[in-house]
Chain A
C-alpha cells in the first residue's frame, strides 16, 4: 500500500487541498482582523481629534485656566468621591459630575449620554459648546465624547473608549470616568487599564496589553491626548471567526478528500481491472483479452499493448505446443513400432527368420528415432544459441562437392539425373559439418520429391558483393501454393505419406533454416506445383566488412516466395 498510486494521489491531493484551505482561511482572517483594527483606529482617531478640537476650541486660555481646570477637576473628583463614600450626594448633579465623560452616563443612573446626539454633532472647534457657561461647565461639556464616537449604544460598558489628557508638565488634565478606580475600594479594578503618567508617548497608534488599542495625539499647548478602547470583544469575535474558518475548512477538507478518494478510484479502478484480467490470463486461457471498450484513451494504449503481447504469447505458446505434440507424435510412432514388434515376438516361440525380421524392424525404428532426436537436439541448440559452430574460413564448393558425391549412388539408383555447376572456389566463413548438413538436407529433399527420370541441378557461385549462392533445383512435385508459407516450419510435410515412407521426419528444412541463419545467411525458395522447386542459400563471402548484412537477392527471393510462385523455373 506504500507504493499505492491511489494513496500517493490522495496524499498529494490532501496536501494541495490543505494548502488552499489554509491560505484562503488565513487571508480571510487577516483581512477581517485588519478591517476591525482599521475601524477601531478610525474611531479612536475621530475621538482623539474631537478631544483635540475641543481643547483648541476652548476660549483662549493661558496656562492658568488649565491649571485651574485641573484643580477643579481634581477637586470635583475628590469632592465627589468623598460624599459618595459617606452618604448620599448633597450637590446637584451638574456640578458634581463635572469631569465625567460621556460614557459614564450609561451607568446605573440611567441618564442618556451627556454629549450632543449624533445628529447634533458640534462643529468643533469654531463653536463654543455652551456659550455663557462657566469654565467648569465648559470643560465638562467639552470633555464629553459625543455618542457618535462611541460604540453602538448597547455595547457593554467595558468596551467603551477611555481617554486621558495630560498637561505638558505631566499632570493629568482630564481622564474619562471609566479610568477612575472603583468607587468603593482603593483597589484597582482589573478591567481598568493602568495608564502611566508620562505624557511622552510618541504620537500614533499603540497597543496596551494585548487587547487595548490606543491613540496618542498632541493637543494644544503641549498637552497629550490618549484615547483607548478595549479590543477584547473584537479579538473574541476574531477568535470565533478563526474557529469557524477552522471548522469550515475541516468540513471542506473531509468532503474534498472523500470526493478525491472516489475520483482516484475511478482512475485506478480501470487499471485494477486491467491488472486483474491480465493476471487471469495464464498459459491455460491465453485466448482471453482485456476489454478495451469503455476505457480512457490513456488506458486503451496500455490495454492494447498488453493485448498485443498476449497475442504474441498465445502464438508462441501455440507453436510451442504444436511442436511438442508433433515431436511427441514423431517419437512415439517408432516407439510403438518397436514395442509392438518386441511384444509380438515374445508372445510365442518364433522361427529364426521371424526373429531376424523383428530385430531388423526394431533397428529401423531405432534408427528413425535416432535421426529425429538428433534433429530435435540440433534445433534446440540452435534455438538456445548454443550451436557452437566452429567457424573458420573454408571453401564452400568443396563442402557441396563432397555431399553431392555422397548422393550420387542414391540418385543413380532412383534414376534421377544429377548435374552440378560448382565453379570456382567460394570462400565463406562457416562450420564445414553444419554447411554439409544444409546441402545434404536440400539434396535429400530434392531426391525424395523427384520422381524417377527427373533431374536435379546443383549450382554454386559467388555473386560479387552479394555473397555466394547455392541453388538446388529439381523437377519434382514442387510445393503446393497453400503449403508454401509453411515449408520451413518444424514437422511440416507437404506430402506426409510419401515423405515418411522415404524417411523424412519434417525437420530437414527447419534445420536448414536454423543453420543458414546461424551462418548469417538467408534461405529461400520458389516453386511451381507439379513442376519443381528451387531452393537458394545465400551466404556472405568471407572477408566482407559486414557479414551480418542481409543478402539483397535472398530477401527479395523470400518475399516473393510466398506470394508468387511464378519465379520458379521448372526443370532446371
Chain B
C-alpha cells in the first residue's frame, strides 16, 4: 500500500512518513501543493493524506485538480476544525477529514478504512484460501494460528487479497508496495512472493506468467 502525504509542516511531514512506514506502507511526501498534485497525478496511490493550508497551491485546489482525473481516496488532515471547513472539504471531494492534533492510531484506522472501501471491502477481515487476513492488526492467521509475515510481505498479501480473483501486474505491485526512495531491484518482488508461499502454502499465490500474480477466490 502506497500513501502520499502532502504537508507543509516539515516536522510533521517527517514524523508522519516515519510512522506510516513503520505501519508497513510505502510513503511518498510532498511539502507544497504543486509538488503534491504533481505526485498525486503521476502515481496511483492507495490513499493521500492532504493538508489544507499549503504554500503555492492550497489543499482544496489540489483536491479539485486531482478529482478531475482520479478517484484516489483522500484524507484531509488539517487544523481547521469548523463545521463549514469540514463540509467544504468533504464536498470538495475528500473522503475523510481529520483535525490536528490527532492520534496516529486514528489516522491509521481511517486510512485502512479508506483503502478497504476503495477496494470494495466492507469488513476489516478477509477470508481467502483458508487464510484469515485481519487488516486491523495487520496479521494473517491460518487454521487459527498466526503466521509471521514481515510488513512488506503482509502488505503484498493484503493487496492481493483485497483484489482476490484479479491479476495484479508486477508494475502495479511495485508501485503500491515500494515508495520512490527504495531502490527496487526487479527480483525483490519474487523474493517476497516465494517467502509468502513458504509460509502460507505453495498455491496461495498463483503466478500468471507474463501478467502478474493473483490470489484465487
Contact = CB atoms under 8 A, between A and B. Distances in A.
A361 B100 contact: no
A332 B7 CA distance: 14
A340 B55 contact: no
Given A336-B12, A340-B15, A364-B11, A497 B55 contact: yes
A332 B82 CA distance: 14
Contacts of A334: 11
Interface stretch (B101-109, B115-123, B126-134): B101-109
A339 interface: yes
Contact of B12 (A325, A337, A343, A348): A337
Nearest to B56: A497
A361 B15 contact: yes
Interface string A296-338: 0000000000000000000000000000010011111111111
A257 to B, nearest CB: 52
Interface string B6-18: 0011111001101
B15 A344 contact: yes
Interface residues of A, number: 27
B11 A339 contact: no
Given A335-B101, A336-B102, A497-B31, A328 B79 contact: yes
Interface string B44-55: 000000000101
B89 to A, nearest CB: 14
B11 A497 contact: no
Given A343-B104, A344-B19, A361 B79 contact: no
B102 A339 contact: yes
Contacts, number: 72
B104 A340 contact: yes
Contacts of B80: 325, 329
Interface residues of B, number: 27
Pick the most buried of A333, A343, A500: most chain B CB atoms within 10 A of its CB: A333
A341 B15 contact: yes
A46 interface: no
Given A329-B53, A333-B79, A340-B15, A497 B8 contact: yes
Contact of A344 (B8, B9, B32, B104): B104
Given A329-B53, A336-B102, A337-B15, A344 B22 contact: yes
Given A329-B53, A333-B100, A341-B15, A497 B79 contact: no
Given A325-B82, A328-B81, A329-B53, A343 B103 contact: yes
Q: Is the interface of A mostly helix, strand, loop or mixed?
A: helix
Given A328-B81, A336-B100, A339-B102, A500 B8 contact: yes
A496 B102 CA distance: 23
A382 interface: no
Contacts of B82: 325
Contacts of B31: 497
Given A339-B102, A344-B22, A333 B9 contact: yes
A329 B79 contact: yes
A333 B12 contact: yes
Pick the most buried of B9, B53, B79, B82: most chain A CB atoms within 10 A of its CB: B79
Contacts of B104: 339-340, 343-344, 347
Given A343-B105, A495-B55, A337 B79 contact: no
Contacts of A337: 9, 11-12, 15
Contacts of B81: 328
A193 B186 CA distance: 147
A329 B55 CA distance: 14
Interface in B62-106: 78-82, 99-105
A340 B79 contact: no
Nearest to A328: B79
Contact of A496 (B8, B11, B101, B105): B8
A329 B12 CA distance: 13
A87 to B, nearest CB: 121
A341 B103 CA distance: 10
A501 interface: yes
B16 to A, nearest CB: 6
Interface string B155-173: 0000000000000000000
A365 interface: yes
A232 to B, nearest CB: 89
Nearest to B81: A328
Given A325-B82, A329-B79, A332-B79, A340 B10 contact: no
Interface string A460-481: 0000000000000000000000
A328 B85 CA distance: 14
Given A340-B102, A344-B18, 5 more contacts: A332-B101, A336-B102, A337-B9, A364-B11, A497-B32
Rank and list the top 10 A-B pairs by shortest CB-CB distance, nearest first. Answer: A329-B79, A332-B79, A336-B100, A336-B101, A497-B55, A332-B100, A335-B101, A340-B15, A496-B55, A337-B11
Interface of B: 8-12, 15-16, 18-19, 22, 31-32, 53, 55-56, 78-82, 99-105
27 contacts: A325-B82, A328-B79, A329-B78, A332-B99, A332-B100, A335-B100, A335-B101, A336-B9, A336-B100, A336-B102, A337-B9, A337-B12, A337-B15, A338-B101, A339-B101, A339-B103, A340-B19, A340-B102, A341-B15, A343-B19, A344-B18, A347-B19, A364-B11, A495-B55, A496-B8, A496-B53, A500-B9
Interface of A: 325, 328-341, 343-344, 347-348, 361, 364-365, 495-497, 500-501
